[in-house]
């Protein structure tokens, strides 16, 4: 099942813009979240499973920030949670479709 990722996604009362972006020189990264601009960036040229897990990862960071006042704020916890959630989604036949997103790469 393909799920189209919208250009804007709300976490709490905050609308995060979702874009494709190579995150400048961000070598080796797959995604990023910018809380000042409320932008979630997905690096476009990654394998689908990496992009999908990366999207979940940044959403978890957003949930942690909006609802938990960054009580987690730890890659050691966010990382396995994202991997675990993505593994279950993949098992259920869920795949994210990023084709509707703006590419803001420089």
**Paired sense of beta strands 95-97 and 2-4, if any:** parallel
Q: Cβ closer to Zn ion: 74 or 87?
A: 74
Residues 43-82 that bind Zn ion (CB under 5 A): 75, 78
According to DSSP, the β-strands at 8-11 and 14-20 are: antiparallel
**Could you tell me what percentage of the chain is helix, strand and coil, using 3-state DSSP and rounding each to the nearest 5?**
35, 25, 40
Residue nearer to Zn ion on the CB measure, 18 or 78? 78
At closest approach, how far in Å is the CB of 69 from Zn ion?
17
Q: Binding residues for Zn ion, per CB under 5 A?
A: 75, 78
């Amino acid at each position: 099942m393909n799920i189209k990722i919208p250009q804007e996604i709300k976490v709490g009362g905050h609308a995060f813009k979702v874009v494709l972006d190579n995150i400048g020189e961000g070598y080796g990264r797959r995604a990023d979240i910018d809380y000042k601009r409320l932008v979630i960036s997905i690096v476009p040229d990654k394998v689908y499973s990496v992009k999908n897990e990366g999207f979940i990862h940044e959403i978890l960071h957003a949930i942690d920030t909006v609802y938990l006042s960054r009580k987690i704020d730890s890659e050691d916890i966010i990382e396995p949670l994202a991997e675990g959630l993505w593994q279950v989604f993949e098992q259920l036949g869920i795949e994210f479709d990023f084709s509707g997103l703006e590419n803001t790469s420089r």
